[in-house]
Amino acid sequence: MTVGGDTVTEVVRLSWKDVRDRVHGRVLDGTYAPGDRLPRDEDLAEEFGCARSTVQRAMQDLSLSGIVERRRKGGTRVRRDPVTRATLDIPITRNEVENRGAVYGYRLIGLTTEAVPPPVTAKFEMAGSEEMLRVRALHLADGHPFVFEDRWVSLRTVPEILEIDLAAQSANEWLVRNKPYTRCDLRFYAMNADAETAAILETGEGAALMVIERTTWIGLDPITSVKAVTAPGYEILTRS
Amino acid sequence: MTVGGDTVTEVVRLSWKDVRDRVHGRVLDGTYAPGDRLPRDEDLAEEFGCARSTVQRAMQDLSLSGIVERRRKGGTRVRRDPVTRATLDIPITRNEVENRGAVYGYRLIGLTTEAVPPPVTAKFEMAGSEEMLRVRALHLADGHPFVFEDRWVSLRTVPEILEIDLAAQSANEWLVRNKPYTRCDLRFYAMNADAETAAILETGEGAALMVIERTTWIGLDPITSVKAVTAPGYEILTRS
DNA sequence: AAGTGGTCTAGACCACTGA
DNA sequence: CAGTGGTCTAGACCACTTG
């Protein structure tokens, strides 16, 4: 170490983010190529002059980001197929409307008990069919249609739903606030508005609409499956 | 501790997942209501009989899941607005096609250098305009149109792109494999096919199509912005 | 200024899983 | 069965942020 000289060798304390970025840099510049096995955490720790747990923290992050894959005994490898990984937040529809500075509105359209049709049993991955509560409702923003939801709620898993006044409170809101889930499948696609949907959303037949389908379970028991058809112009953004 | 008796008090070793689940349970059953402040990590550690770092690991996970919010000095609080948080993987288009068991194909449609129009400068959050490489290309699955991409690549940030044979290798593939980014914005929406897009994707005018827009930067420098229009029937699924 | 979460360390043991 | 990642601990210090 030379103070006032040219090179100053300093004992730098590396944070786990530093380690992550340096390892990531090596993946990007080809030092570690796709499919390659990286050194063991312990060796990296020695190289970087930090504790193994610091390397572990860094590698955990790279693993979560989809950069590397880790296995006990198998070691750490650079993923062969790079992916863009993003996190999506889907809020309660009321909050989504209010966050846009609009006034939230809600209208119950239909409430029936029906046997679940095959397309929905498939989403739940159920063997046979059963009776479920079907809730059809419209969410509004400043009085304009915003999202139309067609929802099935399992009466076996969530019998309490029958005691909720679904004309006053949306099933969306009640379920998200009261029924935790352990599994959630999401599906996004575009569809042309059919006559009925167009009428409900006050748009033209054939308009391109974004659809969000969400199915949740608690353990293996189905909770709800909802097809939310959004009004034209709806966008999904990933959080920064 | 009574072996062979009724109650056996065992010194159980809690894992961070156990701690996470127990705290999560308290959020769900209302012990900790939305907006409430939770006990400090240290107090929870004492209560659960584990190290503070174990509680820290658990809370970090709950924080990532959007269940609680943590701030130094401010403590840990239950989020007021529950969200459904999901992780999306967007693979390279080639892999997406091949993972469906189809044969991947690629066709370069247009390659020009143009001044970036306002809608695209907005996506990049650029002050003025500049010349960029515009690449228009079609990805095919088993010979059928799969995704049409209209892409802008910054010649200032990525001059090497000019040396790549974009008729042989898609910009998608080359960029994902070679140009790391530090920021990625994603946007999804539905649009009706216009005449040109319908022709390219071999579908009818007005068909509902899912659009994926992705813009990436390295630091503050723009890399690329792409509008990927998918063929009818395209879906986005969250990984389990 | 003080309280609380964030990180680092060194060491130990556990739990997968590939050879 | 042996190698590697995963987790836990106890303690220390740091960094942010709020009262």
Average pLDDT over residues A172-178: 87
Q: Is the CB of B84 less than 8 angstroms away from the CB of A66?
A: no
Judged against a pLDDT cut of 70, whether residue B90 lies above it is answered with yes
Taking CB atoms and an 8 Å cutoff, what residues of chain B touch A176? 82, 84
Given A81, A95, A208, which is nearest B190 (Cβ)?
Answer: A208
Task: Check residue A82 and give its pLDDT.
Answer: 81
- Same domain as B117, residue B57: no
Q: Look up the domain containing B214 and give its range.
A: 93-230
How many structural domains are present in chain B?
2
Task: Check residue B16 and give its pLDDT.
Answer: 94
Q: Is the CB of A208 less than 8 angstroms away from the CB of B186?
A: no
- Same domain as B129, residue B30: no
A8-17, A33-42, B91-100, B197-206: segment of lowest average pLDDT? A8-17
What DSSP line would sit under chain A, residue for residue?
--TTSS---------HHHHHHHHHHHHHTTSS-TTPBPPPHHHHHHHHTS-HHHHHHHHHHHHHTTSEEEETTTEEEE-SS-EEEEEEEEE-HHHHHHHTTPPEEEEEEEEEEEEPPHHHHHHHT-SS--EEEEEEEEEEETTEEEEEEEEEEETTT-GGGGGS-TTTS-HHHHHHHH---SEEEEEEEEEE--HHHHHHHTS-TT-EEEEEEEEEEETTEEEEEEEEEEPTT-EEE---
List strand D contacts in B 138-167 (CB < 7 A): none
Task: Check residue B20 and give its pLDDT.
Answer: 95
Q: Residue A22 sits in a domain of what CATH number?
A: 1.10.10.10
The token pair at A54 is 């610091």
Average pLDDT over residues A136-161: 97
A127, part of any domain: yes
- Gap from A23 CA to C19 C1', in Å? 27
- Same domain as B185, residue B118: yes
Q: What is the distance in angstroms between the Cα of A4 and the nearest Cα belonging to chain B?
A: 32
- Gap from A120 CA to C15 C1', in Å? 39
Judged against a pLDDT cut of 50, whether residue B125 lies above it is answered with yes
- Gap from A76 CA to C5 C1', in Å? 30
Closest-CA residue of A relative to B187 is A237
- Same domain as B220, residue B101: yes
- Same domain as A152, residue A47: no
Average pLDDT over residues A75-91: 90
B7, part of any domain: no
Taking CB atoms and an 8 Å cutoff, what residues of chain B touch A206? 192, 206
Task: Check residue A3 and give its pLDDT.
Answer: 38
Average pLDDT over residues B222-235: 97
Given B176, B186, B206, which is nearest A237 (Cβ)?
Answer: B186
B238, part of any domain: no
- Same domain as A154, residue A70: no
- Gap from A73 CA to C18 C1', in Å? 7
CB burial readout B155-192, b (16+ within 10 A) else e: eebbeebeebebeeebbbbbbbeebbbeebbbebbbbb
- Same domain as A66, residue A120: no
